[in-house]
Structure 1
Amino acid sequence: MSCARFTEVDRRAFKEGLRAYSPTLMAIFSWGLVTGIAMSKSVMTVPQALGMSLLVYAGSSQLAVLPLLAAKLPVWTVLLTAAMVNTRFVIFSAGLAPHFSYLPLWRRVLIGYFNGDVIFLLFQKKSFQHGYVPGKEAYFWGMAGASWLSWQVSSVAGILLASLIPDNWGLALAGTLALIPIMVSAIATRSTLVAVTIAGIVALIAFDLPYRLALPLAVLAALAAGAAADMLIERADLRRIHDRTGSSS
């Protein structure tokens, strides 16, 4: 978004995005710190860890590939694991595509890089109309900027200060617990509740699968369950309307 196009509406939307994302900052900071510490204490050098944090910017896949790098497994195994963990971003991109399809390719690629789980969740919760909406892109960048800065600052701090931070601090658990209220607040419909429930069950059942397959499987199961729940709810609503119309006539 060029400065010339950064209107008053954009400025307000950007600040709104910052406010919407602010409750998650401590959770993201915790996860970034954990990831930075893990990278620094693995086989990676400090420059390699810093480069991974800046270029990859995907905590789950960063943590997933560290044991593979330590075991000196083939590169294709590392890439496959990272790809499987990040499969959910293909779904996120499909969800954002109708909102930003009018933008040039380089800006859509940039949005794809800065997008994340919580960003996508909060953006969808806003229920924007598809296509161009004044302030919509600025709202996204308000969240994305806050997320990226929080992640990089905490990740770099973890990389540089890893030797000073005890392993038993439990920061990963703190980050997970801090994210739970955000996820719960997003359960606004019955179909969303069904999707979250099914995703949790599938993730638990598939937890021990290799290459972190539990994550993409849980996402796909949630999509299928949510779509099925939407269809059943719609059919039930239509049946009630039909019965009401029939009884009134």
Structure 2
Amino acid sequence: MSESRKAFLNGVRAEIPLLIGVFPFGMIYGALALNAGLSTLASQLMSSIVFAGSAQFVTAQLVHDSAPGFVIILTIAVVNLRHMLYSASLAPYLKNLSLKWKALLSYLLTDEAYAPSILNYEKEGITPVSHWFLLGAGFSLWFIWQISTALGIFLGAAIPKEWPLDFALPLTFIAMVVPILKNRPMIAAAISAGVVALLAFGLPYKLGIILAALTGIIVGTVLENAKSPRRAL
């Protein structure tokens, strides 16, 4: 077995435990997208092109609420700001790759692909085939996400429209967020964002979502920096 193939399969194996949790979210998205008014093709293409679970859930909700296009785009940009941090973290390990490789890996970069990949880089360092690990992790997640979305769309088409599937969206985000609230900055960011979202609920064009996200980011960043020890001059 070639070294690149071995690294690719190692990435797939590292991703498998995360795929078990991702699969039901893909199914929920597929059903919610149809319930929000998106066509079958648009729902599946969003998983193939956008390939960002949280952004897709938010988009489905905003489409359901008839939000303007610029609000949807701006909200997705805010929600996905964390990918800039992932990119900055991986940049030192990927800087010598070709532009084609960087473009491919940036497309496949998600929360679930980043976690095992950065641990692998920190453990193994940079090798001629280390980027194949990230490719394996990212591609396996992409593949499962397409299948779970398609299954959710197929099952969602048989679900009566009067069923309140849109209520599954906040429940999904609660299930995703609560387990990672492990320190005071994270908890404060979540609480502040939630409070602002409630207070700004009446703003036009669903701008309260953007305001809440920015508030959470600012509060979390300020508290995180405050607890970090200052470097001696």
TM-score after normalising by structure 1: 0.71
Task: Compute the displacement of 1:180 (Å).
Answer: 7.0
Once the two structures are superposed, residues 81-106 of structure 1 have per-residue CA deviations (whole angstroms, 9 ceiling, x without a partner) of 22122222222222222221112223
The CA RMSD over aligned residues, in Å, is 3.5
Q: Distance in 2 between matches of 1:49 and 1:220?
A: 32
Pair 7,225 (structure 1): closer, same or farther in 2 beyond 3 Å: farther
The TM-score normalised by the length of structure 2 is: 0.75
Q: CA offset at residue 177 of structure 1?
A: 4.7
Out of 70, 80, 101, which is 1:76 matched to? 70
Q: Quick one: which amino acid aligns to residue 150 of structure 1? A: I
**What amino acid is the match of 1:14?**
F
Correspondence for 1:151 among 145, 150, 157: 145
Map residues 122-201 of structure 1 onto 2, 5 A cutoff: 122-128=116-122, 132-164=126-158, 173=171, 177=175, 183=180, 193=183, 196-201=186-191
**Higher mean C-alpha displacement, 55-64 vs 126-135:** 126-135
Gaps of at least 5 residues in structure 1 are: 1-5, 188-192, 236-249
Q: Do the aligned partners of residues 178 and 45 (structure 1) sit closer, same or farther apart at CA in structure 2, a change above 3 Å counting?
A: closer
Distance 1:133 1:180 in 2: 36
Provide the rounded CA distance (Å) in 2 between the counterparts of 1:162 and 1:7. Answer: 42
Deviation of 1:176 after TM superposition, in Å, equals 6.4
Distance in 1 between residues matched to 2:125 and 2:214, nearest whole Å: 28
In structure 2, the CA distance between the partners of 1:54 and 1:64, relative to structure 1 (3 Å rule), is same
Over 3 Å counting, the alpha-carbon distance change for 1:176 and 1:107 in structure 2 is farther
Q: 1:195 to 1:120 in 2, by over 3 A?
A: farther
- Other-structure match for 1:113: 107
User: For residue 101 of structure 1, what is the aligned residue in structure 2?
Assistant: 95
Larger Rg computed on CA atoms:
1
What percentage of aligned pairs have identical amino acids?
26
Q: Deviations over 1:4-58 (max 9, x none)?
A: xx942x3332222222211111211111111111111121111221222211111
Measured in 2, the distance between the counterparts of 1:179 and 1:13 equals: 31
- Counterpart position of 1:35: 29
Gapped runs of 5+ residues in structure 2? 201-207
